[in-house]
Amino acid sequence: MCGSMADIQSVTAEIRRGKKKDRKKKPQGKNIKLHRAATHSCESWTLRKNEETHLEDFDMKGLRKILHISWTAKKINEWVLNKAGVKREVLDTVKARKLAYYGHTMRKQGNCLEKKIMQGTMPGACRRGRPHMA
């Protein structure tokens, strides 16, 4: 769900290689790379509550790794966000990209299959009865 496994592994490897001197700086560059890996091809996702919580958990885990905060430190998520100086924006980004993709698809001209599928206006009728597996 969260991009390809190679993307996520490369981002986490970069996080691990990070220098400990940079703890007081805001994690702008690394956080952006983490968001890119987490939201790869998110336009086609179907977001349910379960996936939303997984995205938020992935984001918080990445921030904790960037800031070198151990899980034994017992810090709440709001404290971590405050320390990093960022807001939770992964879900907002995903929803904005989905909406932008929908608008892009709806502006297409003519009989575009993608547009018909998104609108739910496929021609023809379904067969009656139970579908048979041939």
Domain-embedded: residue 9: yes
All residues at 6 or more sequence positions from 63 whose CB lies less than 8 Å from its CB, including other chains: 27, 31, 34, 80, 81, 84, 86
Question: Can you give the pLDDT at residue 22?
Answer: 47
Query: Distance (Å, rounded) from C-alpha 47 to C-alpha 125?
Result: 29
- The confidence band for 100, taking pLDDT boundaries of 50, 70 and 90, is very high
Asked whether the predicted pLDDT for residue 87 surpasses 50, the reply is yes
Domain-embedded: residue 67: yes
Domain-embedded: residue 66: yes
All residues at 6 or more sequence positions from 100 whose CB lies less than 8 Å from its CB, including other chains: 43
Query: Distance (Å, rounded) from C-alpha 116 to C-alpha 105?
Result: 10
Domain-embedded: residue 126: no
Domain-embedded: residue 42: yes
Q: Looking at the 3D structure of the chain, how many domains does it have? A: 1
Sign of CA dihedral 76, 78, 81, 83: negative
Asked whether the predicted pLDDT for residue 111 surpasses 80, the reply is yes
* 125 secondary structure, DSSP code: -
Domain-embedded: residue 125: no
The two most distant CA atoms of the chain are separated, in Å, by 68
What mean pLDDT is predicted for residues 6-17?
66
Question: What is the residue range of 95's domain?
Answer: 5-112
